[in-house]
Amino acid sequence: MLKGILGPFLAVLRRDLMLAWRGRADVLVTLAFFIIVVCLFPFGVGAETNQLRAIAPGVLWVAALLSTLLSLHRLFAQDHADGTLEQLLLSPEPTVLWVTAKVSAHWIVTGLPLVLAAPGLALLFDVEQGALGVLTLSLALGSPILALLGAVGAALTLGLRGGGVLLALLVLPLFVPVLIFGAGAVDAYLGGTGATAHLLLLGGGLLGALALAPFACAAALRIAIE
Amino acid sequence: MLEANDLACLKGDRLLFRGLDLHVEAGEMLRVAGPNGVGKTSLLRILCGLAMQEYGQVRWRGLDIRRERESFHRALLYVGHLPALNDLLTPLENLRFACAATGDDPGKSACLEALARIGLGEQVDLPARVLSQGQRRRVGLARLFLSASRPFWVLDEPFTALDVAAVADLATTLSGHCEAGGTVILTTHQDAPFGKAPTVLDLAGVAC
């Protein structure tokens, strides 16, 4: 039974990871964009240490959010163009299963590298060690939410002309709460109140998104191929 | 096995056809005919459950296909216009994924055998982007050999871009499937050497 459920999930996950590996250039662009945007800030606002330390969480979070947006339109576009999406929708397995697999693969490829790069980049801003951990943890909890919410937007704008711009307009407002609690976690830690509340909220948000977003995504994909 | 009552199909704001009834039994092959743009592909997509009809009902073994989605899709094999082929993957990887994603797991050797049977034995390790149109088509059709357990096949222009020998092979495979109790619905503009001439449904009769 478990194998029957996991079979299609793993097949989609494995395929998407393999595709990402074969087209690595596309993936590296997202990470490079994240690193460059973060590095631009010290040039723009000056190298005053206290100031850099204060803006670090916000800068890293906004950069992560924009890089996520950069790769979102690719999530379903290729499969839609070559007909794979039709075949997946004709699968007797539950749609949410492979949608979750696709989003997971997408996050592993585009979100996880940002989480891993974040501590190194935060050092450029002279963020202290405890805050470094909180920042990384907030990104680790928050970036999958971005991927899940973004996937709904990507499915809704699939096949539309100018879909990329529409996608940004659609999902950026939805990203705001994640940004507030993500960047807020570090500020709360530095302010002495502790980051637990913020991180718990992010964790709750992640579970909520994980439970609901695949269903919304599946419904939007069915509409997109009609 | 499959029946449709009073189907109407709306594309954009144009009514393609209405009042369409069809009925196919086990062992029957139905060819949907009609000029370009009359709604053949739209009809096949409705019969598969990929698109929503404007009016009417499609029933599989007496049950609405939208209610019984899972069991219907377990019985269905659809090969559409689009090849469902990723350029970065090899034919073998594409075929194995196509099977795995729809819940089948025929294994590597069965997939290799299917590809060899469809005439791609030499190309299993090449990325799909270097294949010709006809070869790409064949990768999609290789699934026919792995889908004997699926009784209901829907094929949209399966003969396009295939050479004469491949058309004859495919026709034999389709006739064989019907003889074994399967059902085939297809569209084609070509004459193919079927064992038994298929029933023809001319959409021009119900077009608006």
Contact A8 B102 (CB under 8 A): yes
And the tokens for B125? 């390790």
The domain total for chain A is 1
Smallest CA–CA distance, residue B137 to chain A, in Å, is: 12
The per-residue pLDDT of chain A, averaged, comes to 92
Span A133-155, mean pLDDT?
A: 95
Name every chain A residue with its beta carbon within 8 A of the beta carbon of B102: 8, 87, 90-93
Q: Which of B74, B76, B97 sits opposite A11 (nearest CB)?
A: B97
Span A189-207, mean pLDDT?
A: 92
Smallest CA–CA distance, residue A137 to chain B, in Å, is: 33
What's the CA gap between B62 and A65, in Å, rounded?
50
Name every chain B residue with its beta carbon within 8 A of the beta carbon of A88: 101
What's the CA gap between B190 and B111, in Å, rounded?
28
Task: State residue B192's pLDDT score.
Answer: 82
Task: State residue A213's pLDDT score.
Answer: 96
**DSSP class per residue in A100-134:** HHHHHHHIIIIIHHHHHHHHHHHHHTT--HHHHHH
DSSP3 helix / strand / coil % (chain B, rounded to 5): 35, 25, 40
Q: Which of A11, A78, A83 sits opposite B101 (nearest CB)?
A: A11
Instruction: For B4-27, write each residue's pLDDT tens digit.
Output: 999 999 888 888 888 899 999 999
Contact B100 A7 (CB under 8 A): yes
Question: Residue B207 — φ and ψ, nearest 5°?
Answer: -65, 150
* Angle CA A131–A137–A138, to nearest 5: 90
Task: State residue B13's pLDDT score.
Answer: 87
Which sequence spans correspond to the domains of chain B? 2-205
pLDDT tier for residue A3 given thresholds of 50, 70 and 90: low
Span A168-197, mean pLDDT?
A: 92
Smallest CA–CA distance, residue A81 to chain B, in Å, is: 8
Query: What length is written for chain B?
Result: 208
Q: A–B: how many Cβ contacts below 8 A?
A: 81
Span A140-149, mean pLDDT?
A: 96
Highest mean pLDDT out of A1-5, A34-38, B158-162? A34-38
The domain B2-205 belongs to what CATH superfamily? P-loop containing nucleotide triphosphate hydrolases (3.40.50.300)
Instruction: For B80-111, write each residue's pLDDT tens digit.
Output: 988 889 999 999 999 999 988 887 888 889 99
Asked if residue B198 lies in contact with residue B204, where contact means CB atoms within 8 angstroms, the answer is no
What's the CA gap between B199 and B194, in Å, rounded?
11
Tokens 């399966």 appear where? B158
Domain span at A22 = 2-225
Residues 6+ apart with CB under 8 A from A133: none
Question: Residue B188 — φ and ψ, nearest 5°?
Answer: -165, 150
